[in-house]
Structure 1
Amino acid sequence: MDAKELIARRVACEIRPGMLVNLGIGLPSLVANYVPASMGVFFQAENGVIGLGARPPEGMEDPHLTDAGGSFVSAVPGAASIDSAMSFGLIRGGHLDMTVLGGLQVDELGHLANWKVPGRMVPGMGGAMDLVTGAARVVVAMQHSAKGESKLVTRCTLPLTARRRIDLVVTDLAVIEPTAEGLVLRERAPGVSIAQIEDATEARLILLAEVPEMPVT
């Protein structure tokens, strides 16, 4: 499997039956492909859909059914369409069990930067700030490095999404838990050594006596 599929499959292991889960655009949206329908999980998009399914087959797209990034999605039985005010009320009211978001940087304090790159035009901040602040659990799904630079850094140099410490980072190399003491290396990707992870990480990692390989669905 490729890096994105590995990350999505590992994030899917964090989801429990009956959860209400927000999936961010891009890589996080792939997580829905690896959660069995029998688990009764409802995926939410901040543009007003509860009950997102996987991307429909080519030719079966409905132009009125998209996620917050405008990508085509399907809807599971029992799905609902709500307005943006209700959608953000769910987010800001603390009703989401989990959000899965992409990331540009995560630092040793557990801060996430994922909404703006200085010098580049962005159409808006979207719902990222609300999601990081309001969801019960925040999981970041991202590749470990970009253009040879680690995305796990000592301190974020990009604008922070929120000052809340996120709960978990899943990359193509590792599963890392931000804690009050720092970033704890919890799991290694299959075939990846601790030395390889350390070499690819700018931030200081806290190493446990045993670091198992990550499970994937």
Structure 2
Amino acid sequence: MGMGIDLRDKLAKRAAEEIQNGMVVNLGIGIPSLVPNHLTKETMVMFHAENGITGMGASPAKGEEDENLCNAGGFPVTLNMGGSYCDSSIAFGMIRRGRVDITILGSLQVSRKGDLANWIVPGKKVPGMGGAMELAQKARKVIVVMNHCDKNGKPKIVETCTLPLTSAGCVDLIITELAVFKVNEEGLLLTELFAPYSLADVKSKTGCHFKIEEQIRKIPY
């Protein structure tokens, strides 16, 4: 089952909590692209995209789109005051030099150790890896926002990834519609639960062992 619009926004809203003033943040396609819509006007952040933008704003209103202004997924965006354009090689140079504070991206699988598999399902047509490999390696914090299970109901959080890896041991935080996990040296730590889900729900839909924070935050939305 896919996510409804409101559920996608719930995850984007939670991911937005990780962003602090002055950060440079790269957003993947899908749910991560909704994150700018959930920041306060006081939060000064520069959103970066591999196609050569630093300083993206929120999604434009219908009819206000500029056909020349889009994110790395090809969707229309706006440009904030102070935003700038560059070519793709400079945009990747910023990533590889470690100038991106946070990357927020989707994934097909994440392992207990924070391995990321988000670029290909063998045998399926895909548009390409994009900047995922560089971002996973070089961003200072890697946040995965995804469905807890795939469309067949199989866990996407697993002991060992069965899909080709984008990067090993790179994920710091996982946000799904059920829960939030931190990834540390011991493995996964469940720190937050989305209402109305329980620990039992999460255990039944997670394909590996995880530890549980003593004080779990319950997220009402």
Shorter-chain TM-score bucket reads over 0.9
Q: Which residue of 1 aligns with 2:79?
A: 75
Q: Secondary structure at the match of 1:73?
A: coil
2:32 corresponds in structure 1 to 28
CA distance in structure 2 between the partners assigned to 1:75 and 1:37 by the alignment: 14
Q: How does 1:143-154 map to 2 (within 5 A)?
A: 143-147=147-151, 148-154=153-159
- 2:16 is matched with which residue? 12
Question: Following TM superposition, where does structure 1 have runs of at least 4 consecutive aligned residues deviating by more than 4 angstroms?
Answer: none
Q: 1:64 aligns with which of 56, 64, 68?
A: 68
Q: Percent identity?
A: 46
Structure 2 matches for 1:1-217, cutoff 5 A? 2-147=6-151, 148-214=153-219
TM-score for the superposition, normalised by structure 1: 0.96
190-199 or 100-109: which moved more? 190-199
Take 1:34 and 1:132, find their aligned partners in 2: how far apart are those partners?
23
The answer to whether the Cα contact below 8 Å between 1:4 and 1:143 also exists between their aligned partners in 2 is no
Letter in 2 for 1:19: M
**Residue type at the aligned position of 2:140:** A
Residue 101 of structure 1 aligns with an amino acid whose one-letter code is L
Given that 1:153 and 1:201 are in contact with CA atoms closer than 8 Å, whether structure 2 keeps it comes out as yes
Aligned partners of 2:137 and 2:170 also within 8 Å: no
Letter in 2 for 1:17: N
- The one-letter amino acid paired with 2:79 is A
Is contact 1:97-1:137 (8 Å) kept?
Answer: yes
Answer whether contact 1:165 1:178 (CA < 8 A) is retained: no
Uncovered stretches (5+) of structure 1, i.e. residues with no partner: none
Q: Aligned Cα RMSD in Å?
A: 1.3
- TM-score for the superposition, normalised by structure 2: 0.94
How far apart, CA to CA, are the structure 1 residues paired with 2:136 and 2:219? 24
- Give the Å deviation of 1:215: 7.2
Alignment partner of 1:172: what SS? coil
1:102–1:141 CA contact under 8 A, matched in 2: yes
Shift of 1:214: 3.3
Amino acid at match of 2:57: G
The runs of 5 or more residues in structure 2 that have no matched partner are none
